[in-house]
Structure 1
């Protein structure tokens, strides 16, 4: 989506300043002898394939005037130019996730993010065939992307295609922080679906668990948490501590900062202890 160019004193005005009126320009001041510069280079090049910005590369040894004009004291030094105005970006090697945050602050979205937005629009329009087509296209380019896998698993769950959803989620391992918890939450939603599809009602608690599972699938999370909490209060060992685990799965799905997570986590602790 973006582009990468080599910039010098001769073309800086045309390729950086003028281009910045069309799209953001990241100016990478680097040196051939700089180790961190060489590590940063492929990361920035990769991001130009996903985001619509210009990467302008300036070798400070070949362009000392530019380095002096912009006060470059250490490399790598990445500056941002937008609408002709230059501002600080970052100095030194920065993790890819933090560079993505910087791009987001510039109002840029990756090709994957735009694709997922199109998927969500198709799902909202009740057009699963179009959503599937969008997913197929995205997986051709980003087959290992964890966000894409999680979105696709949720989509398959909505279609009640539980086995392929489980296979997708199985590729996300416990060490993948930030993704594993959500994968576990979706697995729990699959279990809720299975509980709803094939309920075994032999007791009042069975009925309550089935009802709470259905509420969770309907995204009525507060009512679902109330139902599971009531079961914990009556029988902690029910379904091998299943009600407490179900609540934790909903916490993972909502996130630690969600008001329901904060409220019901406290209520769960009070009920348990």
Structure 2
């Protein structure tokens, strides 16, 4: 499948305008001397393999007429060509989650995200064999995807294979800060699992263990409620474990999730 093409003035009409009638074209105006361009390009290339869109890259130094035509004054400048119409996009480098949100506005489906949903359904149904088969397919199709690595680690935690899960999470590097932070947060799930192995037989210990159990079952709201109660009762309990657990759940959910927006301020009020 053709996902990325170099575009110049000579093929712009055919490879951008005409092709956008059948498939969305993401147009990346860049320059070889631009550092942010070099950061953004591999992210766009990776997404183009995952979603059903064409990535058209245009070097503004080689194609000043196109840069002038579309009033490109800074790079990277990304536009969206949909059914023959060039639409505004963004200038600069956006985090991958925001790029995915933009693509979702055009009703594009990610093969990777659909595969991960399949995995979650298989796990929920208790079909471990099917989940493993789906992961094998995803690792083959998206061998360098940190999303697959993180979800596979989550699956291993579910199977209580904690060392293997930690090994996978440790492989997620600093290149993409969002994925790295997510991987670090999922290491908290390993801590939740370990907390259940030797629960402290006190009122706070039982409450903390219950919160960990709920977090592992992805019942995050009930887990956050209990963790907040632990923080309110004893901030220092388990080496500040309840606060750390809450911040890990916030990172797993993301800053825009309703539960993060609700419980993060409550945690701050409790602490200060």
- TM-score (norm. length: structure 1): 0.70
Larger gyration radius, structure 1 or structure 2: 1
Classify 1:230/1:174 alpha carbon distance in 2 versus 1 (closer, same or farther; 3 Å): farther
Equivalent residues in 2 for 1:1-273 (5 A)? 1-3=1-3, 19-26=19-26, 43=42, 48-55=48-55, 71-72=69-70, 80-83=80-83, 85-89=84-88, 97=96, 102-173=102-173, 176-196=176-196, 198-273=197-272
1:42: Cα distance to partner?
Answer: 6.5
The CA RMSD measured in Å over matched residues stands at 4.2
- Aligned partner of residue 86 in structure 2, secondary structure: strand
CA distance in 1, matches of 2:95, 2:259: 32
1:172: Cα distance to partner?
Answer: 3.2
- Aligned partner of residue 179 in structure 1, secondary structure: helix
CA distance in 2, matches of 1:116, 1:95: 23
Classify 1:182/1:24 alpha carbon distance in 2 versus 1 (closer, same or farther; 3 Å): closer
**Structure 2 alignment gaps of length 5 or more:** none
1:91: Cα distance to partner?
Answer: 8.4
1:170: Cα distance to partner?
Answer: 1.9
Classify 1:133/1:27 alpha carbon distance in 2 versus 1 (closer, same or farther; 3 Å): same
CA distance in 1, matches of 2:59, 2:269: 62
Classify 1:2/1:107 alpha carbon distance in 2 versus 1 (closer, same or farther; 3 Å): farther
CA distance in 2, matches of 1:230, 1:8: 61
1:15: Cα distance to partner?
Answer: 5.7
- TM-score (norm. length: structure 2): 0.71
1:235: Cα distance to partner?
Answer: 3.1
8 Å contact 2:48–2:55 — kept in the other structure?
A: yes
CA distance in 1, matches of 2:232, 2:60: 67
- Aligned partner of residue 177 in structure 2, secondary structure: coil
